[in-house]
Amino acid sequence: MTAGAVAEPGTEGRLRGLSGRVALVTGAGQGIGAAIAARLAAEGCVVAVNPLQPPKAAATAERLRQIGGRAQPFPTDVSDAGQVDEMVRAVEESLGPVEILVNNAAFLDMVRLVEQPPDVWGRHIEVDLTGPFVCARRVLPGMLAAGRGRVVNISSIWGLIGAKGATAYSAAKGGLVAFTRALHTEVRGRGVAITAVAPGVIDTPQLSADAAFAGITLDEMKGRYATQNLVGRIGTPEEIAGVVAFLASDDGQAFGGQTIPVTGGRSE
């Protein structure tokens, strides 16, 4: 803020360049996606909420409105290019051009590779890797024309180090790291930044599936994960949301092409 300027009411402490921006958050029905949508709304963004299921989309959007945010639901299967085109068109007509895209929607089925049907492997790739491609391809022309935009891809620690029982997921999330770097090289110097976040173990409903795969209780699973990093606990969705908001802000430009691990110090 320049000397003598007066802050817009309610904007003190907000990240630069987010207020009034239209942000599309995929997979925003629960967990990390819902936390990202809430944080961006708190930063003043107009949030397009995209889970797969309409009830979750409506519920998340309503929660954001109840806390003073501006949000509308747009349920869609992000792996379907036709549905994504219709969704983005609806967002543009209702809210305006998408200026921030957060590719968070994901699919994870915990199973050993030799037991995984090919169609389930394919669903991981469709949602976790093709989905970000389809969404980014649809919104990037508008961002480039405006000379400003952010795409934040949600990868995973498993995309960096792999995980037993999550081979397909790890492969897709690892591909998302390479996708992020390669795509940024295509748009650099044009006001658009492509970045990624690689969360470690986060306290979301997915932990119940992890526990079932490991054959232990949820509390035992949380305890085991807590010993595998340097902070001695699992992360929260809100911590990931804070990093995403920063990368989407004006100050996130310098991180273009990078994947930021938020793993509590875990690297293997």
Q: Active-site residues: which are they?
A: 169
Q: Which residues contact 142 (CB under 8 A, 6 or more apart)?
A: 92, 97, 98, 149
Instruction: Write the CA distances from 53 to 68, 76, 104, 247, integer angstroms.
Output: 23, 8, 15, 27
Helices 118-125, 167-187: axis angle to 10 degrees equals 30
The number of beta carbons lying within 10 Å of the beta carbon of residue 14 is 17
d(CA 203, CA 221): 11
Determine the 3-state secondary structure of 19 from DSSP. Answer: coil
- What is the per-residue burial (b if ≥16 Cβ within 10 Å, else e) of 26-45? bbbbbbbbbbbbbbbbbbbb
> Which conformational region is residue 7 in: left (phi greater than 0), alpha (psi within -120 to 50 degrees), or beta?
beta
70-73 and 100-103 as β-strands: parallel, antiparallel, unpaired? unpaired
Instruction: Write the CA distances from 242 to 118, 197, 204, integer angstroms.
Output: 36, 11, 16
What's CA 123's distance to the chain center, in Å? 18
How is 178-195 classified by DSSP, letter by letter? HHHHHHHHHHTTTTEEEE
